[in-house]
């Protein structure tokens, strides 16, 4: 049966900056009416209105009632109220199973018979691996009887449960049924999220042999810090162990052009052997962008400047007190940790010129200096902390499921959610209301003007929770202080902080500017720092920071975002060292809104990073808080897809210890050497030998097919034919990380040292193939004969599809050329012509043909 709903149910709802209680009773009546219709057998709801305002509420009511197959559609939309929108709505209803009289809707339409044969098609849906499903709570057999029993539990079917258990007393059974259903759902959530949990740890590294550095090393320091103890100690350590040291001072306000000019004046003839940056030690805010620390701004500029100056030596970024590498160790300088976030992204986007990250003790004595030299010389670690006990390497490990506590976590006062009107903030609000929060304060820059906030507030109020929506820029100290003072005045007292506010980013390292960095840092890092400062004297039950996997292992195109989230993790460490509550969760991508759109989700899934169901993500957070955990990474990763490309870009001791990664690399035939392996000169020789006997056209075709095949492998396309030779790499789905992977694959296949900007300089497979031939193979291949040039012209003509006039024009020109060639009489004259053609360059031959053909 179909029910039609109209806008009369919400005709009186208005949005203002206060509360939304006036129409709560009307909303409750609407929900009761929908439940009654569903119970009465109505399985489809069509909202007839100028804009759908009730479809979401109907869907949620159906879900709450345990009915998942209800069809809910609208008719028209605001700013889209034409015939096309109405026909689309009817199509949605038809697909949902409703009957539509298409002859009446589209009287001029014609039915088209589908082919009776299996025409060519291709599947784009990801295929999940075959698994054996075991029903939670059963004996592991997963029988049909068990499935029916748990279905009865979830559906509240007392009669069936009583019959199954042979129990006559249904009254007592009804008392335990809700707890049993709740346990069932909780265990299902735990089973789904069990493999999503990771934790960063630090492992001792075997003490390396004493190392000696060679060549010239550039040490870059903040201006005026040359006399600092740590700076002097680093310079002296490198010099004592064989390096010729060049020190360059620079400022945080120096742009990458200015810094590149400085570098060019210091580069020796043989180039640098390595670059050591102490810029991160400068925590002074940049005057023009106070939310950006000078060390982060200068390090970003240095990375860009080294690229501009074409310095390929590995860059090592040094910090002090930016990580907590041991149990009970205090993290004293969380601001410097931002450079660790930036550095991990640089390592992914520019693996060929990145060394790594090193955190030093405050005093660099003889032993610590020797360990620093060992890391710089290449001991296999690219994220290391040097401590009195030795060298510690950063590692990722599985985090076991928390046991939880006897009493689940709950907010006992007011819970503040920054970014509270967003998709993630809204889900958190509903969860907190379900946990009995007395009051929720949702802040965002939009505040009450945010889309859908009135309906959300009404739903939360219906759960018995007081809701306040406030416009507040969390990076503005006075704004945030005012909100906190207002909460304290109105009560109940603030007991929990959930910091979800943030701004996304999709910009390569080389293109990132200070203004963009400031915008990204403001909401995440500055907001977190202000929340920490302004709530320090409060007795909070929870201080939860929403970090990102970009802070755990880096993420291409997100240098500033990774820096901001790494600060959140460091701030949590710092708070814990002060004896204050803190939880930082480095999240993988959430579904259901947020920063991940549909196209982004497809690209990430193709690389093995799956979008998490938001309901399960919230339950994962609940488990973390119930277990009183501090720092956890939560992400749904298919390591078989994710690990090989990740390690191909750059060897990563961080993840290579995970059993799934070891298996994935073994299955893919890749080892830890990855992109760090030396180029194979035999690969280039083999390719040159293959091309040497071919015409220019066939050489080009071979190189194009090579590029297409490698691109298809990177993007997991079905075949090389799916990669169009003239289509832009960006349109094919490449980003900065997959561009690096393709560059690495082509380097391995050709034996050539290809630039990191390869796909930016050559935007299509055809252009890239031309680059390989013109820049790398042209001078080394055997000269192309006149016959081969004629063959190439023949290939051009064979592949052409001219119109009638062009065909006749080219025919006349070719006949003219043939006539001229026939008139060449004397052998000496023929020899002269042959020599001219044989010695002519490609450009000269094409210019000749173009002139003759009138092009």
> Is there a single domain that holds both residue 595 and residue 686?
no
What pLDDT is attached to residue 69?
Answer: 78
The phi and psi torsions of 592 (rounded to 5 degrees) equal 75, 30
Q: Among 413-427, 654-668, 750-764, name the most confident range.
A: 413-427
Q: Are residues 693 and 616 part of one domain? A: no
Is residue 266 in a domain?
A: yes
| Reported confidence tier of residue 327, pLDDT bands at 50, 70, 90 | confident
CATH number at residue 737: 1.10.1200.10
For residue 132, the model assigns a pLDDT of 41
pLDDT at 3: 59
Overall number of domains in the chain: 6
Which CATH number does the domain housing residue 246 bear?
3.40.50.11460
Q: Is residue 619 part of a domain?
A: yes
Instruction: Let me know: does 711 contact 742? Beta carbons within 8 Å.
Output: yes
Start-to-end C-alpha separation, the chain: 69
- Higher pLDDT among residues 291 and 403, named by residue: 291
In a domain, 146, yes or no: no
**pLDDT tens-place string over residues 161-218:** 777 777 776 677 777 777 777 777 777 777 789 899 999 999 999 988 889 999 999 9
Q: 273 with 378: CB under 8 angstroms?
A: no
For residue 68, being part of any structural domain is answered with: yes
What is the mean predicted confidence (pLDDT) over 829-848?
A: 63
Does 735 share its domain with 821?
no
697, 811: one domain? no
Q: Of the candidates 743, 777, 811, which is a domain's last residue?
A: 777
User: Does 345 fall in a domain?
Assistant: yes
Structure tokens at 406: 């006897």
Q: What is the CA radius of gyration of the chain?
A: 33
Would you state the pLDDT for residue 669? 67
pLDDT, greater one: 93 or 243: 243
Please say if the pLDDT value at position 128 is more than 70.
Answer: no
Q: Which of 70-74, 169-173, 439-443 has the lowest mean pLDDT?
A: 169-173
For the segment 644-651, the average pLDDT, to the nearest whole number, is 78
Q: Reply yes or no on whether the pLDDT at 652 is more than 80.
A: yes
Residue 324 has pLDDT above 90, yes or no: yes
Backbone φ and ψ of 36, nearest 5°: -65, -40
Q: Does residue 32 register a pLDDT over 90?
A: no
Mean pLDDT value across residues 720-736? 85
Under the banding of pLDDT at 50, 70 and 90, the label for residue 733 is: confident
Q: Are residues 27 and 76 in the same domain?
A: yes
**What mean pLDDT do residues 770-783 have?**
69
pLDDT for 673 equals 41
Classify residue 429: in a domain, yes or no: yes
Predicted local distance difference test score (pLDDT) of residue 678: 45
Instruction: Give the pLDDT score at 795.
Output: 65
**Cis omega (within 30 of 0) on the bond before 492?**
yes
Per-residue model confidence (pLDDT) at position 22: 46
Q: Rounded mean pLDDT of 81-91?
A: 87
Q: Determine the average pLDDT of the residues in 480-490.
A: 96
**pLDDT reported for residue 405:** 63
Q: What average pLDDT does this structure show over 3-26?
A: 43
Residues 626 and 648 occupy one common structural domain = no
* Shared domain check, 249 and 338: yes
At 333 the pLDDT is 97
Integer Cα distance of 740 and 341 in angstroms: 19
Instruction: Give helix 55-64 / helix 453-462 axis angle, nearest 10°.
Output: 30
Indicate the range of 63-77, 158-172, 430-444 predicted with least confidence.
158-172
The CATH number assigned to the domain holding 38 equals 3.40.366.10
- State whether 372 and 507 are in the same domain: no
Look at residue 4 and tell me whether its pLDDT is greater than 90.
no
Residue 850 CB partners (closer than 8 Å, separation 6+):
none
* Nearest CA-CA partner of 686 in 801, 777, 608: 777
Q: Is the pLDDT of residue 628 over 90?
A: yes
Helix, strand, or coil (residue 504): coil
**Do 267 and 280 sit in the same domain of this protein?**
yes
Tell me what the mean pLDDT of segment 80-87 comes to: 85
Last residue of a domain, one of 336, 371, 398: 398
Alpha carbon distances (Å) from 337 to 5, 35, 273, 525 = 54, 52, 26, 11
Share of the chain above pLDDT 70, in %: 83
- 214-272 pLDDT per residue, tens: 999 999 999 987 668 999 999 999 999 999 999 999 998 999 999 999 999 999 999 99
pLDDT > 90 in the chain, percent: 49
- 696 part of a folded domain: yes
* Weakest-pLDDT range from 51-55, 355-359, 624-628, 702-706: 51-55
Residue 509: give its domain's CATH number. 3.40.50.720
How much of the chain is helix, strand and coil, in % rounded to 5? 50, 15, 35
Residue 456, pLDDT score: 93
pLDDT for 596-614, tens place per residue?
A: 777 777 778 888 899 999 9
Domain annotation covers residue 114: no
Integer angstrom CA distances of residue 550 from 349, 397, 443, 662: 13, 16, 25, 22
Pick from 80, 105, 130: which residue ends a domain?
105
17 pLDDT more than 50? no
Query: Which residues, other chains included, contact 177 with Cβ-Cβ below 8 Å and sequence gap of 6+?
Result: 153, 156, 158, 161
Q: Are residues 274 and 339 in the same domain?
A: yes
499 pLDDT above the threshold of 90: yes
- List pLDDT tens digits, range 518-565: 999 999 999 999 999 999 999 999 999 999 999 999 998 899 999 999
Indicate if 314 and 287 belong to the same structural domain.
Answer: yes
Q: Which among 794, 799, 791 has a CA at the least distance from the CA of 766?
A: 799
| Structural domain harbouring 464 | 414-638
Q: Among 382-396, 460-474, 726-740, where is mean pLDDT lowest?
A: 726-740
Average pLDDT of the chain, as a whole number: 84
Does 301 lie in the same domain as 323? yes
Please report the pLDDT score of residue 219 as a whole number.
Answer: 97
Task: Please tell me the predicted confidence (pLDDT) of residue 363.
Answer: 94
Q: How far is CA 672 from CA 332, 550, 664, in A?
A: 33, 21, 11
């Amino acid at each position: 049966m179909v029910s039609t709903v109209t806008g009369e149910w919400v005709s009186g709802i208005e949005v203002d900056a206060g509360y939304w209680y006036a129409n709560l009773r009307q909303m409750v009546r609407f929900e009761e009416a929908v439940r009654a219709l569903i119970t009465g057998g109505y399985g489809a709801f069509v909202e007839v209105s100028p804009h759908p305002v009730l479809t979401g509420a109907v869907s949620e009511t159906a879900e709450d009632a345990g009915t998942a197959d209800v069809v809910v559609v609208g008719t028209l939309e605001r700013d889209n109220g034409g015939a096309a929108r109405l026909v689309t709505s009817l199509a949605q209803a038809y697909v949902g199973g409703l009957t539509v009289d298409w002859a009446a809707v589209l009287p001029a339409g014609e039915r088209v018979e589908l082919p009776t044969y299996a025409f060519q098609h291709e599947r784009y849906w990801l295929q999940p691996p075959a698994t054996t499903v075991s029903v939670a709570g059963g004996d592991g057999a997963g029988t049909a009887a068990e499935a029916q029993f748990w279905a009865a539990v979830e559906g509240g079917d007392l009669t069936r449960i009583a019959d199954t258990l042979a129990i006559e007393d249904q009254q007592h059974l009804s008392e335990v049924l809700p707890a049993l259903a709740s346990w069932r759902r909780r265990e299902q959530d735990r089973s789904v999220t069990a493999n999503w949990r990771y934790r960063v740890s630090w492992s001792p590294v075997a003490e390396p042999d004493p190392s000696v550095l060679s060549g010239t090393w550039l040490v870059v320091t903040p201006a005026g810090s040359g006399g600092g103890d740590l700076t002097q100690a680093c310079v002296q350590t490198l010099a004592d162990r064989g390096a010729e040291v060049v020190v360059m001072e620079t400022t945080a306000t120096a742009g990458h052009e200015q810094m590149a000019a400085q570098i060019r004046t210091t580069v020796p003839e043989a180039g640098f052997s390595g670059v050591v940056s102490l810029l991160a030690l400068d925590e002074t805010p940049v005057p023009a962008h106070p939310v950006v620390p000078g060390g982060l701004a200068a390090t970003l500029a240095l990375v860009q400047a080294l690229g501009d100056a074409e310095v390929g030596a590995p860059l090592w970024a040094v910090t002090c007190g930016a990580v907590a590498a041991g149990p009970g160790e205090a993290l004293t300088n969380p601001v410097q940790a931002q450079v660790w976030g930036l550095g991990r992204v640089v390592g992914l986007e520019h693996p060929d010129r990145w060394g790594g990250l090193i955190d030093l003790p405050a005093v660099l004595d003889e032993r610590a200096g020797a360990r620093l030299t060992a890391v710089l010389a290449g001991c296999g670690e690219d994220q290391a902390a040097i401590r009195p006990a030795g060298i510690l390497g950063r590692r990722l490990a599985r985090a076991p499921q928390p046991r939880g506590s006897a009493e689940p976590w709950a907010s006992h006062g007011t819970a503040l959610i920054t970014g509270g009107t967003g998709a993630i903030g809204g889900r958190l609000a509903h969860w907190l209301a379900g946990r009995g929060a007395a009051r929720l304060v949702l802040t965002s820059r939009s505040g009450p003007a945010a889309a859908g906030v009135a309906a959300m507030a009404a739903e939360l109020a219906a759960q018995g929770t007081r809701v306040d929506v406030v416009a507040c820029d969390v990076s503005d100290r006075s704004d945030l202080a005012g909100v906190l003072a207002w909460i304290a005045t109105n009560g109940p007292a603030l007991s929990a902080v959930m910091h979800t506010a943030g701004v996304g980013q999709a910009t390569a390292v080389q293109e990132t500017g200070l203004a963009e960095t400031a915008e990204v840092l403001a909401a995440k890092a500055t907001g977190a720092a202000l929340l920490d400062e302004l709530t320090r004297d409060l007795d909070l039950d929870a201080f939860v920071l929403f970090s990102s996997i970009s802070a755990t292992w880096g993420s291409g195109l997100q240098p500033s975002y990774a820096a901001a989230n790494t600060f959140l993790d460091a701030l949590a460490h710092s708070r814990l060292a002060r004896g204050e509550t803190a939880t930082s969760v480095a999240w993988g991508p959430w579904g259901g809104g947020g920063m991940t759109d549909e196209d982004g989700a497809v690209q990430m899934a193709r690389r093995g990073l799956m979008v998490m169901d938001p309901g399960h993500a919230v339950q994962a957070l609940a488990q973390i808080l119930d277990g009183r955990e501090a720092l956890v990474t939560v992400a749904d990763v298919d390591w078989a897809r994710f690990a090989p490309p990740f390690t191909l870009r750059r060897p990563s001791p961080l993840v290579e210890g995970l059993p799934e990664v070891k298996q994935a690399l073994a299955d893919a035939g890749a080892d830890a050497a990855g992109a760090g392996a030396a180029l194979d000169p035999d690969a280039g020789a083999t390719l040159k030998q293959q091309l040497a006997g071919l015409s220019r056209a066939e050489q080009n075709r071979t190189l194009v097919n090579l590029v297409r095949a490698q691109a298809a492998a990177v993007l997991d396309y079905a075949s090389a034919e799916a990669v169009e030779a003239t289509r832009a790499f960006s349109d094919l789905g490449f980003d900065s990380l997959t561009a690096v992977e393709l560059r690495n694959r082509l380097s391995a296949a050709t034996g050539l040292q290809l630039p990191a900007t390869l796909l930016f300089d050559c935007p299509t497979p055809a252009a890239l193939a031309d680059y390989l031939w013109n820049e790398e193979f042209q001078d080394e291949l055997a000269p192309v004969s006149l016959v081969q040039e004629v063959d190439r012209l023949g290939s051009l003509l064979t592949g052409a599809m001219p119109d009638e006039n062009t065909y006749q024009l080219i025919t006349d020109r070719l006949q003219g050329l043939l006539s001229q060639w026939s008139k060449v009489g004397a052998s000496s004259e023929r020899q002269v012509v042959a020599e001219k053609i044989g010695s002519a360059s490609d450009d000269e031959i094409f210019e000749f043909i173009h002139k003759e053909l009138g092009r």
